[in-house]
Chain A
Amino acid sequence: MGKKMHIQMTVNGKAEEFLAEPRELLIYTLRERLNITGPHIGCETSHCGACTVTLNGKSVKACTVFVAQADGSEITTIEGLGTPDALHPLQVAFKEHHGLQCGYCTPGMITRATKLLEENPNPTEEEIRFGMAGNICRCTGYQNIVKSIKAAAAEMNAAKEAAE
């Protein structure tokens, strides 16, 4: 066992403090230490994107970040995006447009898509496919994922316009 270090982070708005070995991977910290099981472990080799979370404002793969690197960080997971009673527009759109089948990739997909739409609120189909290229889905063939993200973008833009 290696020496433990003191870690502080804010996850979905909640301050967390604990002791952990620096080699612990962020995905295990989230899932097994903090019981935040939305982000999944798929390939565990930074290819599939099932573990995608937002770390200090950027989409990252939590299987390839040591907890030590994330000391002092702010993290958002799928759990921080919506609640069962008040789903995020992306969650609504994935539901409406059949953007998932088995659902395993979905938390990573949607967490990544939130950042894609922040970076580019009105993406073309090609931009969606390119911006989501770090997330693999083995069920849908991607068609309905693209549709869902397009629909969510339209919904979010309309809501923003209505608010202005």
Chain B
Amino acid sequence: MIPASFEYYRPKDLDGVLALLRDHGDDARVMAGGHSLIPMMKLRMAEVPHLIDLQDVAGLRGIEVGAEGIRLGAMVTQSEIIAHDGLAQAAPILREAALQIADPQVRNMGTVGGNVANGDPGNDMPGLMQCLDAAFTLVGPDSERQVAARDFYEAAYMTAREDDEVLTAVTIPLPKGGHAYEKQKRKIGDYATAAAAVQILKEGGSCASASIAMTNLSDTPIFCEEAGAALVGSTLDTAALDAAVAAMQAAIDPSEDNRGPVDFKRHVAGVILRRAIERAWSRA
């Protein structure tokens, strides 16, 4: 499997990246770890005449855990997320989710920036970042802007990022309460049949807030505000759980593929969300 020819660039700074994007328009693509893009190029499903490798670009690495929140540089790998103890303490759902992505070799190359920017509905980080209400930093030729993860995804591989912008960082407010990332997959390394990211805050024995997002059950990740709202004020009794699952079912729109027919995916989504809510609650 040999991809089509391309011009290769390895700029040292973001200005160099932006200049290349300006010169080549949508003939150019940036690449982080390449583990989404290279397979697509090998299958010739993606044509990239100008490939911009971000590995040497200054300022795109590093994990910062502050009192206000967390900043992940776009080039932080899944392995680095797993290895970072401060991060696991501040936002344990990140490590829990990253450990369920692909396998050790792929996690050494795969980055958080690539995972969220690519817009593949199968990727785990987009739903996770919606659950955590993260924001993405997009740097363009004349401006820098923040876009909420919950507003970023438009359709499969279609996002709010413009062709001349680069996603440089992910910022996450410090999560509160209990967490769970639950993922059903056919084998290690597979995308989710269904996955749920849940963060729940418990106060005085009842649910004070709940954030729920689902993965690979629509052509975008699904942040399900109604499902979270169904839990608020309850003690997570069966009625509240049923209401949350029903709200989630109304929000998702799975399609049939080699992971199963629609009814099966809906069934798995319900099981996975129930498990995730129960586990997050037990940790809240």
Contact = CB atoms under 8 A, between A and B. Distances in A.
Contacts of B10: 68, 71
A18 to B, nearest CB: 15
A68 B53 contact: yes
A58 B39 CA distance: 20
Contacts of A25: 2, 42
B104 A131 contact: yes
State which size class the interface on A falls in.
Answer: 20 to 34
Given A45-B39, A61-B105, A133 B34 contact: no
B35 interface: yes
B1 A44 contact: yes
**Interface-central residue, B1, B4, B8, by most chain A CB under 10 Å:** B8
Contacts of B106: 46, 61, 64, 134
B148 interface: no
Contacts of B41: 23
A68 B38 CA distance: 12
Interface string A44-59: 1111010010000011
A22 B6 contact: yes
Interface in A114-133: 116, 131-133
Interface stretch (A1-9, A74-82, A88-96, A146-154): A1-9
Interface string A62-86: 0011101101000000000000000
A112 interface: yes
Contact of B39 (A3, A64, A134): A64
Interface string B7-19: 1101000000000
B89 interface: no
B170 to A, nearest CB: 22
Interface string A23-51: 10100000000000000000011110100
A60 interface: yes
A21 interface: yes
Contact of A1 (B5, B103, B109): B5
B51 A22 contact: yes
Nearest to B56: A72
Interface in A86-112: 112
Given A5-B8, A66-B8, A133 B189 contact: yes
B171 interface: no
Contacts of B233: none
B278 to A, nearest CB: 23
B5 A134 contact: no
A69 B34 contact: yes
B105 A23 contact: no
Contact of A23 (B5, B35, B102, B108): B5
B55 interface: yes
Given A2-B6, A3-B7, A64 B104 contact: no
Nearest to A41: B1
B79 interface: yes
B173 interface: no
B263 to A, nearest CB: 28
A60 B42 CA distance: 17
Nearest to B188: A133
B62 interface: no
Interface in A127-143: 131-134
A134 B35 contact: no
Contacts of A66: 8, 34, 38, 51
7 contacts: A2-B5, A21-B5, A22-B51, A45-B1, A45-B39, A112-B104, A134-B104
Given A64-B34, A64-B106, 11 more contacts: A2-B7, A46-B35, A58-B108, A60-B105, A64-B109, A65-B38, A68-B53, A131-B104, A133-B103, A134-B105, A134-B106
The 5 A-B pairs with the shortest beta carbon distances in the complex, nearest first, are: A2-B5, A134-B103, A22-B8, A58-B108, A134-B105
